[in-house]
Amino acid sequence: MIIALLLFIVIIAETGLFLASKGKYEEFTAPLDKKDYPLKSLIPMGLYVLEKVKCRYKTKYDQNLLRKISEVSGAKYSLYYLQIHWANRIAFLLAGLLVVLTIGSLLMLPQKAANHVPGIPLQNGTNLQRPDFGDGDKEIQVEALIKRGKIEAVEEFTVPVSEMPPETEDEKALAVVKEQLSEEIIKGKNKDLLNITEPLDLPTDDKEIGDQGVRIRWEASIPDRISPDGRVKRPPFGSESPSFFIRAILTRGAAKPIMKYFKVNVLPSDIPKTDEQAVQAAKNEISKLLEDKGKGLKTENRKLQLPTNIEKLLGVTIQWFDQKQEKDQTGVIFSIFGLVILCLISFAMDSKLNQQVRERRLLLQLDFPDFLNKLTLLINAGMTVNRAWEKIVKDNKKDRPLYQELSLTFSEIQSGKSEAYAYEDFAKRCGIPQITKFTAIIVQNMKKGSSELVSILKFQANECWEMRKNAAKRLGEEAGTKMLLPMMIMFIAVLIIVALPAVMAMQTV
């Protein structure tokens, strides 16, 4: 009922958000690709929420996201994609909340059993085989196909089937003794069979209960607790004592033996052997004194005396303290924990952005050595850095992040931006150490001049090629690791195919 009420409230709230944001942010969502943003139609709802809460994106977390988005999408559109990122996360939370509550409400609905085809027909038509005398009554599950005209239904029934009555003299004698053998006869000095502390009186014949010539043998499901002659071994103090069964096996002549079961429980020893057991015994005794509104405690006028020792537990002392009442915070803790889990799931969406940043930096790292070799070759041929940069940009036909950044840097220089600043911004946008080092060499050469520029660039190109080789090796190792799980699944499948016939053959033997 509560889940259905929450679902109704969420549906009303989200419907209001959808109507309020409909057609309001088309210029924001139009450039988005449906493949990258499956919840594109719900993103306006997230933008509407951001607008109403007046989000300023000034936190350290937002600035970190802004930096990553700038690397992937460019600084010009970084704020736009940051807003879309948050709106997509809100849309995910709204959709997820609606799905979870809907499924929860459906699970709470009463389930109606569907009609199905009945199983194998009974071998004897409408007759059920009764158990032999001594096998006990049974319950048999059957199905009935009920039809009239074109209407039919299959229903399950549980049929109680009683055992056959005794027929021979031996069987009749066994039935009489089984009926007369009771708890009162075997409990001995114990209060009942569920509070056993003393030996049991387990008869081996029926001389005192009919004298039919029936022999009785006893077995316990836990032989260590009760022996066949009735001796009892109590568990150690403080240990658990689960209930179990003892059974009387009745035999006479050629009749099939019959059994009668008694549920029993042997109580643990009430004598503590260790200090820890003595303390536990004192706790139990105090609990008994406090039962029934503390009637076991001593009273003196207006005073209620709490015990400071237990007479039968020597050496145990008791001190009492006033305990402050604390509020139960379980519900609050559970609610906070649920909200934290939901937020963690939504923040896991940042992994896609982090993956895009890693992939972009990897592509930059793989393409940079080739660019650096071309640039060094052109400078060595007599071109300036600017002219060599321009030629590489105009000759390029690749649509890769490095060449996009090279083209952007060249456009900035053409529009009047200082070369030094353009190169420094190029390094900031790329964000990898190799390019930062390269731009520092170029800027220093522009400011101070150096005849060793070509040799320095050649040396760095060699370093970059080595790093590219290492990156390629790392990618190969990662690919091998990713193949490990499919290989294991294939191995298990082959193992099952090979072993299954052998297992089936062993079961048929």
Instruction: For each of the domains in the chain, give its residue range(s) and CATH number, in order of start.
Output: 2-108 (no CATH), 115-165 (no CATH), 169-264 (no CATH), 285-317 (no CATH), 350-482 (1.20.81)
Q: Confirm if 298 and 305 have CB atoms less than 8 A apart.
A: yes
pLDDT-based confidence at residue 337 (cuts at 50, 70, 90) = low
> Is-above-0.85 flag for pTM?
no
Q: In this structure, what token pair is assigned to residue 113?
A: 């059993």
Burial class of residue 356, CB neighbours in 10 A (0-12, 13-18, 19+): middle
Closest to 23 measured CA to CA, from 47, 56, 50: 47
Length of the chain: 509
pLDDT-based confidence at residue 201 (cuts at 50, 70, 90) = very high
Over residues 251-260, mean pLDDT? 89
CA distance 369 to 460: 9
Instruction: Write down the H helix ranges in 315-452.
Output: 330-347, 350-380, 385-395, 401-414, 419-430, 433-448
Q: Is the pLDDT of residue 219 over 90?
A: yes
> What is the structure's pLDDT at 113?
47
Quick one: what percent of the chain has pLDDT higher than 70?
A: 85
Q: Is the pLDDT of residue 3 over 60?
A: yes
Which of 44-53, 100-109, 339-348, 459-468 has the lowest average pLDDT? 339-348
Q: Which has more confidence, 157 or 186?
A: 186
CA distance 425 to 54: 31
pLDDT-based confidence at residue 460 (cuts at 50, 70, 90) = confident
Report helix, strand or coil for 218: strand
Which of 99-108, 326-335, 491-500 has the lowest average pLDDT? 326-335
Report helix, strand or coil for 306: coil
Region of 301 on the Ramachandran plot (φ > 0 left; ψ -120 to 50 alpha; else beta)? left
Q: Confirm if 202 and 230 have CB atoms less than 8 A apart.
A: yes
Mean pLDDT of the chain: 80
> Which one-letter DSSP state was computed for residue 205?
B
> Which one-letter DSSP state was computed for residue 158?
E
Burial class of residue 211, CB neighbours in 10 A (0-12, 13-18, 19+): exposed
Region of 300 on the Ramachandran plot (φ > 0 left; ψ -120 to 50 alpha; else beta)? beta
CA distance 137 to 163: 5
Q: Which has more confidence, 220 or 314?
A: 220
pLDDT-based confidence at residue 353 (cuts at 50, 70, 90) = confident
Rg (CA), the chain: 42
Q: Is the pLDDT of residue 327 over 60?
A: no
> What is the structure's pLDDT at 342?
65
pLDDT-based confidence at residue 220 (cuts at 50, 70, 90) = very high
Cα angle: 107, vertex 110, 112; to 5 degrees: 115
Over residues 94-99, mean pLDDT? 83
Over residues 322-341, mean pLDDT? 59
Closest to 389 measured CA to CA, from 378, 380, 397, 400: 378
Q: Is the pLDDT of residue 496 over 70?
A: yes
pLDDT-based confidence at residue 335 (cuts at 50, 70, 90) = low
Q: In this structure, what token pair is assigned to residue 384?
A: 């300036």
Q: Is the pLDDT of residue 114 over 70?
A: no
Burial class of residue 214, CB neighbours in 10 A (0-12, 13-18, 19+): buried
Over residues 264-274, mean pLDDT? 80
